[in-house]
Every structure is written in structure tokens, then in C-alpha cells.
Structure 1
Amino acid sequence: MKKSLCMLLLGLLVSFTTPGLGATEIAGIMLEDKIHLDKHDLQLNGAGVRSKAIFQVFVAALYLSEKSNQAAEILATPAAKRMQIVMLRDISAEKFGQNFMEGMKQNVSKEQKSKIIDQMIRLGEMFSKVPEFRKGDKLTVDWLPDTGTVIMINGKKTMSSLPDPLFYNALLKLWLGENTAQDSLKRQLLGEKADVK
């Protein structure tokens, strides 16, 4: 009797402490498989690691209301979305912001850029107010249909929301665009399994 009770308690303990129940692990970062964003239920579409040279820079995860492996479809949907970034190393916010701006320029046309230039400036100002991203810091870039683009660092809103969907898509194209910096990460965000542990 005592042995069976011990086994039962051990089983319960393992069920509460074993990682991977409702979560996905990428490069040591646990990502929830489902999240509630404002009044929207989203699911993990895909995740992977942004690498540069031999360094792992951050884990990126894309959450959608319905899974999709088509970048154009994801960009076109007006439904809620989240791009989540968890830093794997320290990096200056200035450098990180420069990478954002360069990536946006590579993936939007001159006409589109002229329409969102004010919002790009505001994004640059946001990065200028943050001295550094530290390992473990979390950046979320959300699209909420009734609100617009909401950017938070470690759960704190960093700037007022930006209502233009063109701007959110310009951000999302950093990872899903035709000229993304890392094609393997794009494929993983679109649902291909990452092999990084």
C-alpha cells in the first residue's frame, strides 16, 4: 500500500515538474504552446533561433489565431498576432534597433516606407531609450485588431500603440519577408521544426 502511494505521489510530482507539458523548448527557452492576448486565444505557429556567425542571438516565436505555413497569408490576415523574442545574449539596444531598421528597409518598398516613416522614427526613439537588451529579456510585438501594434519589453508597454497594419507587417517582414536575414528561422516560424535544443 505504501509503495503504491509513493508511486502515485511520484507520478504526480513528475507531471507537475516535467517540462514540455503545454510548452515547447527552444535553446533552453520554454515557449507556451497557447497564449491569451487581450481577448484573443493564440497558438504557437513556429519558433527558432536567430543566429549570427557562431552566436545564438535570440529565440523568436510566432503566435497566431490559426496556424499557417504561408507568409503571405499570415501577413494578410487582420486577426491578432504576436512575435515574441527572448534574448540569448546581451546586445546594445542601439545595435538591435539598427538591425530592425535595416531589416525593414530591405523588406518594404519605397512607397510603403514613405507611408510608415513617422512610425519607424518612433520605433527608433523607443530603442534609443533602452540602454541594453540583456540575456533573458523578452520583447513582444503584438497586433491587436482594435488597437494596432503594441510593443512591450519584459511585459511593459514601451510606446503608444500604432494603428497602421502596414507598419506591423513591415515589422513582421523582418522574419517573414522575402529578404529576411535568416531563411532557416523564417521556415521554422512557418511551422518547420527547429532542431536547436
Structure 2
Amino acid sequence: MKKLIAILLMCASMQALALELEGVKFDDKVQIDNAPLTLNGAGVRSIVFFKMYVIGLYLAEKQKTADAILGDAKPKRIALHVLVGEAGAERFLNGFRKGIEKNHSEAQLAALRERMAAFEQMFGHIKTVKRGDVIAFDWLPAAGTRIALNGAELGRIAGDDFYHALLSIWIGSKPVTASLKKELLGG
């Protein structure tokens, strides 16, 4: 009986915690604005030998393709956990900007320009990000993209195309790395 209880407790704790990467724990399920989301996948973003961040993608229902994720209008969350000791926020913004530019035409970028400027302005007062900081990008169908740093909302940006632009950094046709895209797609 004791063995059975121990096994059941172990299974229950494994279900509560889906994944741990680089010391960051990703819960199997989260909730945003009363919408339950499930961890679709997570991975580590490295540049040369430096592990910059771990990122998790939460969806209403697990998906295996970028097209299915982009076509789904339900709430979503990108949870980015900073791993570097300390880095200028501008470094992260440059990475976001380059990732979006690689995945969009000039016309698409022109349509996003004002919202990209608003996005960058949200981070204007933040000089550095450090290990342990969490940047959350939530897609809320009625409200647009909600951006938060360590749980404090920085602002919101309208338009599903803006959230799709953010997603394209990691799961677009030209992702930051193919391996990270594969991990976020649950593979």
C-alpha cells in the first residue's frame, strides 16, 4: 500500500510540473484571464556559448504546426525566462526586431511599424534584464497582445498580426533556430 501511495504521489507531482530547463520550471498548465492553457513546448535560446533564455509556448490545445498555431484565434502565451546574468534590454529588442524582419515582407513590416515602435517604447524605461526576469507575451482575442515583465503589465498592442509577428521569431519560416522551433512545436 505504501508503494502504491508513493507511486501515485510521484505521478501527481510529475503531472503538475511538465518540464524543467536550465533550472526554470514550466508548469504543464497555466491560466490567463480565465482561459486554461497547456504547455505546447519549451526550449533554450543560445547564442554562441551563451544561454540567453528559455521559452515556453502555451496554447488552448496542443498543436504540432506553426500554421495551426497561427490559425488558432484562442488565447496563447509565450513565457520567456531570462538566463543571462544581466543584459541591456536593447539587446533583447534588437533580437526581437531582427526575428520579425526576417519573417516579414517590407509591406508587412510597414503595417507593423507603429505597433513595433509602441512595443519598443514599452521597454524604453527598462535598461537591463537579468537572470530570473520573465517576459510574458499573452494573446487575448478581445484585447490584443498583453506584454508583462515579472508580472507587471507593460502595455497592450492591438492586432493578431502583431502577435503572429512575435510568434514568427520562434516558429516562423525563418526561426531564430530550427531546433528551438521544433521544441516549441512539441517535437
Mapping of 1:134-145 within 5 angstroms? 134-145=130-141
| Structure-1 separation of matches of 2:52 and 2:78 | 15
- Partner SS, residue 100 of structure 2: helix
> What corresponds to 2:16 in structure 1?
22
> What corresponds to 2:123 in structure 1?
127
Moved more, 40-49 or 23-32: 23-32
1:66 aligns with 2:61: yes
Code of the aligned partner of 1:109: S
| Structure-1 separation of matches of 2:125 and 2:71 | 31
1:116 aligns with 2:112: yes
| Structure-2 separation of matches of 1:92 and 1:183 | 25
> What corresponds to 2:45 in structure 1?
50
1:147 aligns with 2:147: no
Which ranges of structure 1 fall in alignment gaps of 5 or more residues? 193-197
- Partner SS, residue 41 of structure 1: strand
Give 4+ residue runs of structure 1 displaced > 6 Å after superposition. none
> What corresponds to 1:189 in structure 2?
184
**What TM-score, normalized by structure 2, do the two folds share?**
0.91
Equivalent pair of 2:144/2:160 in contact (CA under 8 Å): yes
- Partner SS, residue 191 of structure 1: coil
Identity of aligned residues (%): 34
Deviations 1:81-137 (A, max 9, x none): 000000111221011111111111111111111111100001111222211111010
| Structure-1 separation of matches of 2:130 and 2:119 | 19
Code of the aligned partner of 1:164: G
Code of the aligned partner of 1:181: V
| Structure-1 separation of matches of 2:120 and 2:62 | 31
> What corresponds to 1:91 in structure 2?
87
| Structure-2 separation of matches of 1:163 and 1:31 | 27
- Partner SS, residue 158 of structure 1: strand
Deviations 1:47-67 (A, max 9, x none): 010011111110100000010
| Number of equivalences | 183
- Partner SS, residue 110 of structure 2: helix
Code of the aligned partner of 2:42: A
| Structure-2 separation of matches of 1:107 and 1:78 | 20
Equivalent pair of 2:74/2:140 in contact (CA under 8 Å): yes
1:169 aligns with 2:167: no
Which ranges of structure 2 fall in alignment gaps of 5 or more residues? none
**What TM-score, normalized by structure 1, do the two folds share?**
0.86
Counterpart of 2:174 (choices 166, 175, 179) is 179
> What corresponds to 1:33 in structure 2?
28
Equivalent pair of 2:119/2:157 in contact (CA under 8 Å): no
Q: Which has the larger radius of gyration?
A: 1
Deviations 1:117-160 (A, max 9, x none): 1000011112222111110100000100111100000000012x
